């Protein structure tokens, strides 16, 4: 199975200049062939590859020769993937309020810049304190993972808004299966508590994030009062970017701990097929928290599905329109409780936490319909 590991890079000035050149060339090729495909109505990766070869021979674009060939080829593949997704959306007649997800030009002003290279003939090596990348040489790095006898597939180098550099290493890995527990669980995902299980285990949303969100809001106000392109504005933006990256790290760490605990404990997991935007809209959530909660829930479900596949566990999504929070987990009668965290059934007098009641209903529904 393929797995990704992210490590921190510490390039020197010369390597930073080369990386910036790689970012620029990757961006140039993507935008050039987006324009080329639109003008010529040609969406073939093979014809793009031929055109790229001739493009390298031209005097005004000969700078492309200085870049690792895989960076340019992967730029074409990324564009092809964008077009494929676009055409799939059309076939499915899926249309958002903003229209189809048509490929867009990549801007130099994008806060994140990246390029991807592939492993071949030992062109990528991971040493104790360095990583060797094509046409970049040995780059100082920091990681806490054993790469002994690892089969590397590709490496994506990313520059974050705070000017930090990372390498995401995709490699083949043999997964040691977890011990089977034969246990099942219903999982209720929500706004107040991120996760409530049918075993009445609760994972609240991280409290640290509230303080971090307030810091980000204050910084954004200060940024909006500064002059455009001023040095003070740039400093504040980098400061804000560092705090935002810290927030993402907290979310990722917390979610990995939750999902690891659930995957180790249970063999079968039942969860609602959520419409996250709809869930947050229905709840009374402050505007500045909506994106945060949406990020937490979306990330949680994605990581849970990834780990379940990795460790051969089963995830079943139940009907999103099943009234799990309105149904009594004891007598199965439906009664809507408004503005209360306690579910009190008027039919059988059950008094129970609303989220816990929902998780029990999710478990029962999943067991009866799978």
Q: What is the predicted pLDDT for the residue at 210?
A: 81
Q: Which pair of structure tokens corresponds to residue 281?
A: 């809209």
Name every residue whose Cβ is closer than 8 Å to that of residue 175 and which is 6 or more positions away in sequence.
1, 310, 311
134 in Cβ contact with 162 (< 8 Å): no
Give the catalytic positions in this structure: 188, 272, 355
342 in Cβ contact with 352 (< 8 Å): yes
87 in Cβ contact with 94 (< 8 Å): no
Q: What is the predicted pLDDT for the residue at 34?
A: 96
Q: Which pair of structure tokens corresponds to residue 271?
A: 């969860």
Q: Which pair of structure tokens corresponds to residue 161?
A: 């808004």
Q: Edge-to-edge, what's the strand order for the sheet holding 137-142?
A: 113-118, 151-159, 165-172, 2-10, 137-142, 130-133, 125-126
Angle (CA) 141-147-152 rounded to 5° is 95
Q: What is the predicted pLDDT for the residue at 91?
A: 62
Q: What is the predicted pLDDT for the residue at 97?
A: 44
Q: 44: closest CA among 76, 88, 87? A: 76
171 in Cβ contact with 186 (< 8 Å): no
Provide the greatest CA pair distance for the chain: 82
Cα distance between residue 7 and residue 181, in whole Å? 33
Q: Which pair of structure tokens corresponds to residue 341?
A: 């965290």
Q: 250: closest CA among 196, 194, 317, 316? A: 194
Q: State the pairing for strand pair 137-142/130-133.
A: antiparallel
Q: Which pair of structure tokens corresponds to residue 356?
A: 């816990």
Q: Which pair of structure tokens corresponds to residue 172?
A: 């083949």
Q: What is the predicted pLDDT for the residue at 343?
A: 93
Q: What is the predicted pLDDT for the residue at 205?
A: 79
Weakly modelled stretches of the chain, pLDDT under 70: 89-100, 277-292, 294
């Amino acid at each position: 199975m393929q797995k990704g590991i992210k490590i921190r890079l510490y390039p020197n000035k010369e390597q930073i200049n080369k990386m910036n050149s790689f970012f620029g060339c990757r961006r140039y090729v993507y935008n050039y062939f987006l324009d080329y495909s639109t003008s010529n109505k040609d969406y073939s990766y093979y014809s793009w590859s031929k055109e790229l070869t001739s493009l390298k021979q031209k005097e005004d674009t000969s700078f492309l020769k200085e870049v690792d060939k895989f960076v340019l080829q992967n730029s074409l593949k990324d564009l092809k993937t964008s077009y494929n997704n676009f055409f799939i959306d059309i076939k499915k007649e899926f249309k958002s309020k903003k229209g189809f997800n048509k490929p867009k030009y990549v801007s130099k002003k994008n806060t994140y810049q990246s390029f991807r290279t592939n492993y071949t003939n030992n062109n990528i090596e991971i040493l104790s304190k360095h990583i060797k990348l094509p046409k970049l040489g040995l780059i100082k790095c920091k990681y806490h993972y054993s790469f002994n006898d690892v089969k590397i597939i590709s490496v994506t180098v990313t520059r974050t808004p705070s000017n930090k550099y990372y390498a995401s290493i995709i490699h083949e890995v043999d997964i040691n299966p977890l011990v089977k527990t034969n246990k099942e669980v219903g999982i209720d995902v929500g706004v107040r508590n991120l996760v409530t299980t049918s075993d009445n285990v609760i994972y609240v949303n991280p409290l640290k994030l509230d303080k971090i969100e307030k810091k980000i809001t204050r910084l954004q106000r200060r940024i909006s009062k500064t002059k455009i392109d001023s040095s003070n504005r740039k400093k504040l933006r980098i400061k804000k970017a560092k705090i935002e990256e810290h927030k993402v790290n907290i979310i990722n760490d917390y979610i990995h701990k939750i999902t690891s605990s659930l995957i180790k404990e249970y063999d079968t997991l039942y969860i609602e097929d959520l419409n996250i935007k709809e869930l947050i809209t229905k709840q009374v959530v402050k505007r500045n928290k909506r994106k945060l909660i949406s990020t937490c829930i979306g990330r949680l479900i994605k990581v849970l599905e990834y780990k379940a596949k990795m460790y051969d566990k089963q995830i079943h999504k139940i009907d999103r329109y099943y009234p799990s929070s309105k149904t009594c987990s004891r007598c199965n009668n439906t009664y809507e409780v408004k503005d209360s965290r306690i579910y009190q059934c008027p039919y059988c007098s059950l008094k129970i936490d609303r989220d816990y009641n929902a998780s029990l209903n999710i478990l029962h529904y999943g067991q009866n319909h799978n």
